[in-house]
Every structure is written in structure tokens, then in C-alpha cells.
């Protein structure tokens, strides 16, 4: 199941993997500012996941952890998540519900 939401409705101090323009991004809203990263771990490019309770990103492949703002907390990754931008003029994006993150947890 997926849902389309406005960027302005994304909850503050929260993160998620989103899709926009056919690509995945890792986003975190930090005091109203949307920070956008590649969804790929900088170790060997697995897709990272948002850890809601710990407010950090984690890679399921070899356990690397990153702060919500992208800096490495735990290896084997050695560098921060790659910063990027959403496709130009993106105002909406889609987010998929998973067994790790139901829509009910978000405050959309
Ligand atoms: S690919 Fe992410 S920790 Fe190895």
C-alpha cells in the first residue's frame, strides 16, 4: 500500500524513505527543514531504513548506522549519507506502508 502526501505535511523531527520522480530518497525533517539523502548506504549501497524509535538510519546488510542528519554513528560505513535534492518542483511524493512502519504512526 502506498500513499501520496505533500512535503509540507511531512511531520517534523521524523524520517522516512520516500519515492519521488521514480527514485527513492531518505528524508528527515529537522526543525521544519527537509534534509534529503540518497537512500543508499555508503558502505556497499544497500537501501537504508529509518529507525523511528532511535531516530536514526540503519542499514540491514552489515549494520551501519547513521544519525538522522546523515553522519555515521557505527561502521562499517566510513562516510556520511550522500546529500541530494528531490527532483525539481517536487511537491508531493509517495510513501509505502511496511510492516516496520504503518501509516498510523505518521501524523499526516
Ligand atoms: S551495505 Fe550498508 S553496512 Fe554494508
| Domains in the chain: boundaries | 2-98
Cβ atoms of residues 74 and 107 within 8 Å: no
Query: Of the segments 6-10, 52-56, 70-74, 97-101, which one has the largest average pLDDT value?
Result: 70-74
Q: Whose C-alpha lies nearest to ligand 1, atom 3? A: 62
The fold of 2-98 is Rieske Iron-sulfur Protein (2.102.10)
**Percent of all residues in the chain with a pLDDT value above 90, rounded to a whole number:** 52
CB within 8 Å of 23: residues ≥ 6 apart: 87
Give the position, in ligand 1's atom list, of the atom nearest the Cα of 48: 2
Q: How far is the CA of 54 from the centre of ligand 1 (A)?
A: 18
**Ranges assigned E (strand) in 13-77:** 14-20, 23-30, 33-38, 49-51, 56-58, 65-67, 72-74
* Ligand 1 centroid – CA 76 distance (Å): 7
Please tell me if the CB atom of residue 92 comes closer than 6 angstroms to any atom of ligand 1.
no
Output the average pLDDT for the chain: 86
Cis omega (within 30 of 0) for bond into 84: no
Would you say residue 80 has pLDDT above 70? yes
pLDDT over threshold 60, residue 69: yes
Higher local confidence (pLDDT), 104 or 79: 79
Q: Which residue has the cell 501509516?
A: 103
Q: What is the pLDDT of residue 38?
A: 96
Amino acid at each position: 500500500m502506498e500513499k501520496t502526501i505533500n512535503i509540507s505535511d511531512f511531520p517534523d523531527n521524523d524520517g522516512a524513505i520516500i519515492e519521488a520522480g521514480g527514485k527513492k530518497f531518505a528524508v528527515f525533517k529537522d526543525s521544519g527543514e527537509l534534509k534529503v539523502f540518497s537512500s543508499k548506504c555508503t558502505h556497499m549501497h544497500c537501501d537504508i531504513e529509518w529507525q523511528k524509535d532511535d531516530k536514526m538510519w540503519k542499514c540491514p546488510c552489515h549494520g551501519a548506522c547513521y544519525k538522522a542528519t546523515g553522519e555515521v554513528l557505527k561502521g562499517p560505513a566510513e562516510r556520511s549519507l550522500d546529500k541530494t535534492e528531490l527532483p525539481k518542483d517536487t511537491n508531493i511524493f509517495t510513501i509505502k506502508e511496511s510492516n516496520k512502519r504503518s501509516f498510523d504512526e505518521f501524523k499526516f
